[in-house]
Chains A and B, each alone.
Chain A
Amino acid sequence: MARPFLKVEGLTKVYPGGVRALQDVSFEVARGEFVVVIGLSGSGKSTLLRCINRLVEPTAGSVWVDGVEVTALDREGVRRLRREIGMIFQQFNLVRRLPVLTNVLTGRLGYVPAWWSVFNYWPPDLVQRALDALERVGIRDKAYVRADQLSGGQQQRVGIARALMQEPKLILADEPVASLDPATSHSVLRYVEELNRREGITVLCSLHFLSLARRYGTRVIALKEGRLVFDGPPSEIDAHRFRQIYGEDAVEVEIA
């Protein structure tokens, strides 16, 4: 591999309560990959994603994104880094009382002067881009509806549009479909997949279902109790590997 786009080295996170969420995790991701992170609840998937944009401060280890050592950045540096990393959440994390359009525009906050924000001012070209982003995820008509009026799948598409506004080079998706039904899950993941394929945006996405990981991931990494237990193509995860990751009693559930 040439210079990796994302490099995680010896990443460890111990929460103040003493919980060891990540223990010496190392891996590399090339530009344009769709990496799926799997593992049980509490295996450290969310912590891993949040250490990459420093929403969580790692205890030890280092993270490089596109040649920049994330773990060495100061506050302002972190802010600049975050502008280029889109993030999608399990609970969508939209501001419920604000219109969809404003939620999408918040993806651009890192680039606009603070005093614009005080007056909720957005230049027309950004508004147009937000509308285009909504068009891309198929909910242009919901632009002026309050975010909490939308269904779960629609809300997640707003989340994707918000990430799209950032023109990200990396998307971190934390269980983006865990709160959605199977059909909606696919439609949401297809939008993420399209960004990955068409724009070459690198994706790091945690998922519950192995079937979804097989369908969308170009590569899978698995965490168990904070340790990396698998790193390879999805096709290599056989019954034996599966039990290794999910425990002896686990039964694979297919999602249509």
Chain B
Amino acid sequence: MTGRGLRLGVVLLAVAAFAYGWRVTRIDLGELVTKAHLVRPLVRDLLRPEVLERVPRTQEVAVPVALGGPPPPLGAARGPRVEVSSRSVRVGQEVELRGEGFAAGRPGRLLWRDATGAPSQLAEFTTDARGGFVLWVRIPDTLGDRGELVAVVGLPQTVWRPSETLRLVAERMVETVFLALMGTAMGVAFAVPLSFLGARNLAHGPVGLAVYGASRTVLNVFRSVEPLILATVFAVWVGIGPFAGVLALGVHSVASLGKLYSEAIEAIDPGPIEAVEATGASRLQVIRYAVIPQIVPQFIAFTIYRWDINVRMSTVIGFVGGGGIGFLLVQYINLLLWQKAATAVWAITLVVALMDYLSARVRERVV
């Protein structure tokens, strides 16, 4: 009788908890339908990442000039040509440009490219029926003692090329993979010694047991700190950027690799250890000949697995200032640039899937 009463009480309590949870988290399944229009543009943009962009083809001719010095040498020209009345100039001087061999009747721009490579527009023009133009421009106030006059004529055809977003995403993706690699390397460097100290089967005597307890505690404490929190702390410490991410992932990897490694050590066959000990080998020699050969495959597998996880984690860590692709993605999201964000999301998906596949393959091979 009391058993049934108790069971009923538990059920009622569970129902009450569920009902309260429903209210407090404001679950409203209807919103999934009524507000679907809000998410539609986002989903549509996520399915249209910026990968390629269409740009008009151009003809470009650059003529180097010197400010107050002998005129610089000219490269051999083929196709369209531009002649400048003087190639040894000073600021404010007017020069005449004669272009020929360009496409006929097309719009063009004349740019000044300074010593640092930064362009500024000086004039616009249209080529004549024979593909030539004549133009007078004034040399602008500029940095350095040289520059280039660049004529750019747009052609009717267009070409596809990788978008600027894709280039940026790829660059940050590489940064992310290496961020994860460096974080993993840092983790390995500290986790390997810690794991030997924190393996129960290698701990001998009261000192050994104390060291074992201490290393286990250190590993447990580090592991319980969320990498996101670590990244926030390090972003404040060393500034926003990939280094903060490396530190955050590194500390977290020490903890999780240390635990995995020491468990691998604890799982080894004690027989060879006993046999090598019985030959009169020292502690170090026992580890070298009886422990290490048994754990190398697992250590490799765990390390690659960790790298794989770290690539995944580093995207999230980027959200809080840990650098890499995550930092770029969160900027796109904050600026509501959904198509650019989509490029980053797809890149992350691809790289993570690839890492996952490769790490699984490597693990298969070594274990």
Contact = CB atoms under 8 A, between A and B. Distances in A.
A58 to B, nearest CB: 16
A95 B284 contact: no
Nearest to A87: B278
Contact of A83 (B272, B274, B279, B288): B279
A109 B289 contact: yes
A59 interface: no
B281 interface: yes
Contacts of A118: 284, 288
Contacts of A87: 275, 278-279
Indicate the size class of the contact surface on chain A.
20 to 34
Of B271, B278, B288, B289, most A-chain CB atoms within 10 Å: B278
Nearest to B278: A87
B228 interface: no
Contacts of A82: 277-280
A81 interface: yes
Nearest to A120: B288
Interface residues of B, number: 21
Contact of B281 (A92, A97, A106, A159): A106
Contacts of A97: 293-294, 296-297
Given A80-B280, A83-B280, A117 B275 contact: no
B42 interface: no
Contact of A94 (B272, B279, B280): B272
Contacts of B280: 79-84, 109-111, 166
Nearest to A102: B289
B276 interface: yes
Interface in B248-307: 269, 271-272, 274-282, 284-285, 288-290, 293-294, 296-297
Contacts of B296: 97
A53 B275 CA distance: 11
A106 B279 contact: yes
A55 B277 contact: yes
A98 B289 contact: yes
Contact of B275 (A79, A89, A111): A89
A102 B289 CA distance: 9
Nearest to B288: A117
Interface in A72-122: 79-85, 87, 89, 91-98, 102, 106-111, 114, 117-118, 120
Interface of B: 269, 271-272, 274-282, 284-285, 288-290, 293-294, 296-297
